[in-house]
Amino acid sequence: MITATSSLGQVNSTTSYISHAISNIDNQGRIRESYSIEKATIGVTISSTVSKARRRATGEECAIKTISKAKAKNFERIKKEISIMKMLDHENIVKLSETFEDKRTIRLVMELCSGGQLDERLIEEKKFKESQSAILMKQIFEAVNYLHSVQVCHRDLKPDNILFSKRDAIERSTLKVIDFGSACFFNDGQFMRTKAGSSYYVAPQVLSGKYDKSSDLWSCGVILHIMLCGYPPFYGETEEEVITKVKRGTFVFDKKDWKKISDDAQILIRFLLKMNPHERCTAQQALDDTWTLNKAPKASPEALDNATNLRRFRSGYKLKKAGLQTIAEKLSESQIRRLEDVFFGLDSDADGMLNAKQLRLGLKRVGLEELPVDIDTIIEEVDADSADNGVVDYKQFVSITLQKKQVMQETICWNAFNDHDADCDGMLSGRELSELLHSKTIQETMGCIGAIDALRKTKDGATDAAESVSFDRFMLLFRNSKL
């Protein structure tokens, strides 16, 4: 990612209450009175989770993004994301229905897109035709054209942020552009300067800090290139190598991979990937292009030979992303904290770096028997800027994993805490605390019934009915009882 990220330093065992109201929130209070939220997460970052939910009044399914105030670093960015999403109304853009805020979280209730990510579906299809890619790209161009018409630049278009609404056949599918965390309003004739986006998809002008809405069309060109041949036009083993190639902006169509792809498609890609943004096509021009408008009329009826390339390119990023979440979900917090000592013992040359074999061994030693499919592919997320290919800074690995674990835990525990806070005063009585500690959700989430028993017996556990405990106090006591 080009976008600046938060510090990877040690995470505190608890977080203090943050008073930071967002002005354009629809509802103040407990979301679980209106929605039934599933405990499992379908996405997690170091500051937010995404879960499936159901509206209690209608039974309608939706997705809820929960942002932790304590871990979010940029409230202006959250306010901007909400402001942008509230004004958007287009078939190919995910709809934000309402927002909630309480003491610890900001929640975005959005339509649920259950059809999977763009590239995942292309891999599943196996026999994917150029004409089908034209159908999908038309929807992406429609979304971008609408965004630009309302003076919004997405700034992070990539297959991860394009979802299928449902699992229909490609010809009947509806795509949805999601994730407006990097989006911004713009004025024609004025440049944007914040470096945002993802290395494979970012326009050269973004890297130099002086760009306009045409940067979104560059990203579309990269997406189309990947869709047709299975890999990006600017490829490298490291992020640094990718960025260097993006800055040059030169690429070629390898005959081996492009022999079945029409000249029209290649011409459109070159138009989208023009180095000079003034020569780059607009979203409307892309929609009016013969290839888009007539569904690749000169395309071969044969399926493309891109599935293997796409699977190879995608697997690295997908597995590392899923792998860290899997590790965070399956290890307890105490096991994750033990990892640093275990890794230290495996670091034979004391340089702070471990290879995939050592990572695998360390994870098994703390009790993770079922490892992600290919641990090698997790390394890039943790140490993408390292010049040492194939190794990872294990302190950063532990820090990121711990942050993901804690944000998942705190979201689930905060939901359960609210369920037991009958008078909505932000405090649990001794009786309410006892009920919370006995709940299946807490026992499964915190992963250590012995620790629950220890907490229940402590004086600080506030088991006296006259005493009360806040959520911060609960999390601090719980974690201290497990250390």
219 CB-near residues (< 8 Å, 6+ apart): 154, 156, 157, 158, 197, 201, 202, 203
Phi, psi of 90 (to 5 degrees): -150, 145
Q: What is the CA radius of gyration of the chain?
A: 24
Average of per-residue pLDDT across 173-184 = 95
Q: What is the pLDDT of residues 294-350, one digit of tens each?
A: 999 999 888 887 777 887 776 545 444 545 566 766 677 777 778 878 888 887 777
Phi, psi of 156 (to 5 degrees): -150, 50
Measured CA to CA, the distance from residue 211 to residue 408 in angstroms comes to 36
Query: In the prediction, which pLDDT does 224 show?
Result: 97
Q: Domains along the chain?
A: 27-73+91-111 (3.30.200.20), 118-305 (1.10.510.10), 311-403 (1.10.238.10), 421-482 (no CATH)
Judge whether 237 and 380 are in contact, CB under 8 Å: no
With CA atoms as reference, report the closest residue to 327 among 354, 367, 356.
Answer: 367
Side chain identity at residue 375, one-letter code: I
Helices (H) and strands (E) in the chain, counts: 19, 14
- pTM over 0.85? The answer is no
Question: In this predicted structure, which of 232-241, 308-317, 356-365 has the lowest mean pLDDT?
Answer: 308-317
Chain mean pLDDT for the chain: 80
Among 119, 156, 289, 383, which one carries the catalytic annotation?
156
Residue 156 is among the residues annotated as catalytic for this protein: yes
> Running DSSP on this structure, what letter comes out for residue 260?
T
Angle between helices 118-125 and 307-330 (to 10 degrees): 120
Taking 50 as the threshold, does the pLDDT of residue 20 lie above it? yes
- For every residue of 163-209, DSSP letters joined together read EESSS--GGG--EEE---SS-EE--TT--B----S-TTT--HHHHHT
Q: What is the pLDDT of residues 390-419, one digit of tens each?
A: 566 767 777 777 777 777 777 777 777 777
Strands annotated E in 356-416: 391-393
